[in-house]
Amino acid sequence: MSELYRFGVSLEKDLIKRFDELIEHKNYKNRSEALRDLIREDLVKESWEHDKEVAGAITLIYDHHKRELLNTITCIQHDFQTLIMATQHIHLDHNNCLEILAIKGNARDTQNLVHKLKSIKGIKHCTLSMASTGKDI
């Protein structure tokens, strides 16, 4: 846990009034916590744009009845085993699976894995949640 640092900010009065209303609506206890979150989101966005070390989640929706699909997905995951830390599998209904891959590694490699998975016949949806390793934020 990092030491705290205190500094002054000056804003237009109208702006801070509207911001106070917004953060109350979003459940924030105080301005510092709300500003921290805005700053962190900006930093995480930049990590992904500049191909730094990141963490995140890849979310897959697929029908496990599709022939060979489970084998194909498993093979690709093993090719990317340094990137994929763990997976979680949910049986949505008789046919549909939700599988979530926890990722830590390089931003570009993660994007490549997403492209690989997305193009497989039988995978219905594939999204990437761009988070951070938590270091320095």
Say whether residue 42 binds a copy of itself (CB under 8 A): yes
| Integer angstrom CA distances of residue 24 from 11, 28, 72, 118 | 18, 6, 47, 39
d(C-alpha 66, C-alpha 73), whole Å: 11
Which 100-129 residues touch a copy of itself, going by CB under 8 A?
100, 102, 104, 115-116, 118-119, 121, 124-125, 127-129
Closest separation in Å from C-beta 53 to a copy of itself: 10
Which residues contact residue 95 at a Cβ distance below 8 angstroms, ignoring those fewer than 6 apart? 63, 64, 65
Instruction: Please report whether residue 13 would count as binding a copy of itself according to CB under 8 A.
Output: yes
Residue with tokens 């093993």: 78
Q: Which of 83, 97, 105, 110 binds a copy of itself (CB under 8 A)?
A: 97
Residue closer to a copy of itself by CB (options 22, 74) is: 22
